[in-house]
């Protein structure tokens, strides 16, 4: 029996979506049973997901514009990776074909608690990575 585990072969982004307050990443995914890779676009809502996670981890964030950009890129990618894991667990990525993982708002808001639980579980590791790679430490986190 072939291993049907999902493999992410590449990720590009973040991209700023026109007319939407989101960042997006394009993932190329593959399974051993598939003949070719398939695309998954993951959208991260700026206010409801990125800013929320940033506030939970760091509280009030201060830093240079460059640090802010690096922080947004790091956290949005981490959120995107986690949303791919959630989509895989929910069975969205079982079939071949291009998939969109939209922001966990509106009709998909019932998936947001899974993202929130991940932030809670990984908060120490995320804060350490932010401090080492961006140089910003938590001031008054709310988690």
The answer to whether residue 62 scores a pLDDT higher than 80 is no
Residue 96 is assigned to a structural domain of this protein:
yes
Which residue range(s) make up the domain with 115? 7-133
Share the mean pLDDT of the chain: 90
63 domain-assigned: yes
pLDDT at position 140 over 70: no
What are the φ/ψ torsions at residue 86 (nearest 5 degrees)?
-65, -45
Residue 121 domain flag: yes
143 within domain boundaries: no
* Position 36 in a domain: yes
* pLDDT at residue 139 greater than cutoff 70: no
Query: Domain tally for the chain?
Result: 1
Q: Could you read off the pLDDT of 45-55 as tens digits, one per residue?
A: 999 999 999 99
Cβ atoms 42, 80 nearer than 8 A: yes
Question: Counting Cβ atoms within 10 Å, is residue 124 exposed (0-12), middle (13-18) or buried (19+)?
Answer: exposed
pLDDT tens digits, 66-117 = 999 999 999 999 999 999 999 999 999 887 777 899 999 999 999 999 999 9
Q: Which residue has the higher pLDDT, 137 or 114?
A: 114
* Whole-angstrom distance, CA of residue 111 vs CA of residue 49: 12
Residues 28-37 have a mean pLDDT of 88
Flag whether 30 is in a domain: yes
Provide the pLDDT for residue 1.
45
Residue with tokens 């070719």: 36
141 within a domain of the structure (yes/no):
no
């Amino acid at each position: 029996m072939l291993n049907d585990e999902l493999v992410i072969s590449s990720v590009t982004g973040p991209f700023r979506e026109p007319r939407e307050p989101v960042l997006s990443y394009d993932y190329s995914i593959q399974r051993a049973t598939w003949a070719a890779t398939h695309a998954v676009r993951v959208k991260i809502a700026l206010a409801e997901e990125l800013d929320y996670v940033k506030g939970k981890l760091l509280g009030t964030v201060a830093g240079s514009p460059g640090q802010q950009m690096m922080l947004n890129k790091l956290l949005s990618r981490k959120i995107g990776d986690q949303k791919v894991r959630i989509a895989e667990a929910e069975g969205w990525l079982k079939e071949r074909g291009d998939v969109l993982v939209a922001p966990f708002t509106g009709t998909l808001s019932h998936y947001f608690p899974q993202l929130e639980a991940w932030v809670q579980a990984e908060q120490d590791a995320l804060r350490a990575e932010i401090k080492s790679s961006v140089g910003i430490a938590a001031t008054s986190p709310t988690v």
